[in-house]
Structure 1
Amino acid sequence: MFFKRSVQRYGRTPPPETPYQRAGQLWDERIGSARVQARNWRLMAFGCLALTVGTSAGITWQSMQSRVTPYVVEVDRLGEARAVQAADAEYQPTDPQVAWHLSHFITNVRSVSLDPVLMRRDWLEAYDFATRRGAQFLGEYARSALPFANAGDRTVSVQITSVVRASDNSFQVKWTETEFERGSQAATSRWTAILTTVMRPPASADVLRKNPLGIYVDAIDWSREFDGTPAPAAPRSPDPAAKLPLRSPLDPGTENQAALSTIPETNP
């Protein structure tokens, strides 16, 4: 024991290879290979996803870049071009266009027809040109005035006389209403209204069909004009004797003078 020779080691002795070690190594190789393959497939999936997102964003951006500029050509009833303008979302209607729509709006609301079906169509069309505030005014007017009450017996014809701009967002409309009862004219009145308008671009195809220019009536204030002009007096017929010559047989004073000449003079 005291004279045992020391063992010189020049490296670590590998552990002995056992069947358990070989089985564990084989299991690690199988599981590790599957995990490495799964990691590679995961990286490829993320790469494909990023490529798809980039391609979709590029296609979307390219589709939003319009290379064709549409133009709107306004023509008259004969087909002659009146105005040419690029179709822009910031289009502002002109004063004549706004005036026509406001005239049509007043005509639809104030007119009374013999056919209630036509009146209902006109009122529904008027609601297409009114905001929520304007529709509330129309509802209150319909409940108070009852325009459908005498639809079969009374008619009202509206004649627009003028539409002028009163401010940046309001227009002054003047019109004349002629009332007919059972076919005969009953009364005539003059009215003035201040209509406040707002511009809203159409948001759907249905709104574009009903209100293409996006003109909406937001506030309505109308009143009847006071007609203080006195009725013209009947012309006075001239005295016929003033135009007759002196001593004319047609002069009524000639007979009186002849009668006086036949009275004999008596001395007192």
Structure 2
Amino acid sequence: MSIADTMKGLIFKKKAELNGDPLDPRNAGATMVRGRREGEVENPYLAARRTWNDHVGSIVSQRQTWQVIGILSLLIALAGVGGVIHIGSQSKFIPYVVEVDKLGQMVAAGPVTAAAKADPRVVHASVAEFIGDARIVTPDVALQRKAVFRVYAKLSPNDPATAKMNEWLNGHPEASPFKRAEKEMVNVEIKTVLQQSPDTWQVDWVETSRDRQGIVKGQPVTMRALVTVYTAEVSSQTTDEQLRNNPMSVFVRDFSWSRIL
């Protein structure tokens, strides 16, 4: 028998003995009793390692628990701060109106409530005023300036109507009503203002152009426009001048006009 065969026999014999010994600590199928395998001799090194593992494991578990508690506390705190900010941003003052007569005696009193939706008659008048102010040309510079201010008081910077009005009034030098007033005057006569939808109105009017001597230039022109409007609440950025020029906060979102042939 060779040396190789002898070594092979010893190895397989040792493995067989280990697999057949149920009390061998290296047996993977052995059951655990009091922290060690059944039949295993108490080992201070293994006991110390197990104690250390238990200690470290408890620390890790406690740390994870406190992390979860900390995250939950942070979320609760953020929600509370957000609620306080929301409550603080709301106005605590309630306007109270007191009306008196000529003798100084109180006639009516009560808190100010939110304004209702603008009356259709008010919107009707605002649309007619918008067309008249946008199309009029007058030699009175102060009157023309007031008309332009009233037009822009009904326009919001983010609406397409603003860009269209800028193009109409300032598209080229001859389009400016102040420049046109040097040669002519334009009178605007509103004929009809009809509501086509909850937000859109149709306006028909007649424009009469005259020179600076008051002589009519050509035939009067009949025009038609579709004006889309909406109402908005008064904000802190609204100026007193805007409130005077547009007290009902009726804004023009879009418009288009053309001649009627």
- The two structures have a TM-score, normalised by structure 2, of 0.50
Task: Tell me by how many angstroms 1:38 deviates.
Answer: 0.5
Alignment of 1:214 onto 2:260 = no
Alignment of 1:158 onto 2:187 = yes
Q: Distance in 2 between matches of 1:176 and 1:35?
A: 86
Task: Tell me by how many angstroms 1:66 deviates.
Answer: 10
Match of 1:197 in 2: 227
Q: Distance in 2 between matches of 1:216 and 1:179?
A: 31
Q: Distance in 2 between matches of 1:173 and 1:125?
A: 18
Aligned length: 201
Measured against aligned partners, the alpha-carbon deviations of 1:191-236 in whole angstroms (never above 9, x if no partner) come to: 4332212233449959966662123442212358xxxxxxxxxxxx
Q: Distance in 1 between matches of 2:182 and 2:195?
A: 37
Alignment of 1:186 onto 2:215 = yes
Task: Tell me by how many angstroms 1:170 deviates.
Answer: 2.7
Alignment of 1:95 onto 2:135 = no
| 2:133 aligned counterpart, secondary structure | helix
| 1:146 aligned counterpart, secondary structure | helix
Q: Distance in 2 between matches of 1:222 and 1:134?
A: 21
Which structure has the larger Rg?
A: 1
- Structure 1 gaps of 5+ residues are 1-10, 73-80, 225-268
Equivalence map 1:116-265=2 (5 Å): 122=148, 125=151, 129=155, 132=160, 135-136=163-164, 139=167, 146-148=174-176, 150-151=179-180, 153-165=182-194, 167-168=196-197, 169-175=200-206, 177=208, 179-181=210-212, 184-187=213-216, 190-202=220-232, 205=235, 212-223=249-260
Q: Distance in 1 between matches of 2:149 and 2:174?
A: 13
Amino acid across the alignment from 1:146: E
Match of 1:43 in 2: 68
Contact 1:99–1:163, Cα closer than 8 Å, also in 2: no
Q: Distance in 2 between matches of 1:68 and 1:206?
A: 15
Contact 2:137–2:185, Cα closer than 8 Å, also in 1: yes
Task: Tell me by how many angstroms 1:41 deviates.
Answer: 0.6
Amino acid across the alignment from 1:37: Q
| 1:51 aligned counterpart, secondary structure | helix
Greater shift in the superposed pair: 122-131 or 94-103: 122-131
Measured against aligned partners, the alpha-carbon deviations of 1:223-263 in whole angstroms (never above 9, x if no partner) come to: 58xxxxxxxxxxxxxxxxxxxxxxxxxxxxxxxxxxxxxxx
Cα distance change, pair 47–206 in 1 and its aligned pair in 2 (3 A) = closer
- Structure 2 gaps of 5+ residues are 1-32, 98-107
Amino acid across the alignment from 2:69: M
Contact 2:192–2:205, Cα closer than 8 Å, also in 1: yes
Task: Tell me by how many angstroms 1:24 deviates.
Answer: 1.7
- The two structures have a TM-score, normalised by structure 1, of 0.49
Equivalence map 1:25-36=2 (5 Å): 25-36=50-61
Contact 2:138–2:186, Cα closer than 8 Å, also in 1: yes
Taking only aligned residues, the RMSD between alpha carbons, in angstroms, comes to 5.3
Cα distance change, pair 71–194 in 1 and its aligned pair in 2 (3 A) = farther
Cα distance change, pair 46–126 in 1 and its aligned pair in 2 (3 A) = closer
Match of 1:238 in 2: none
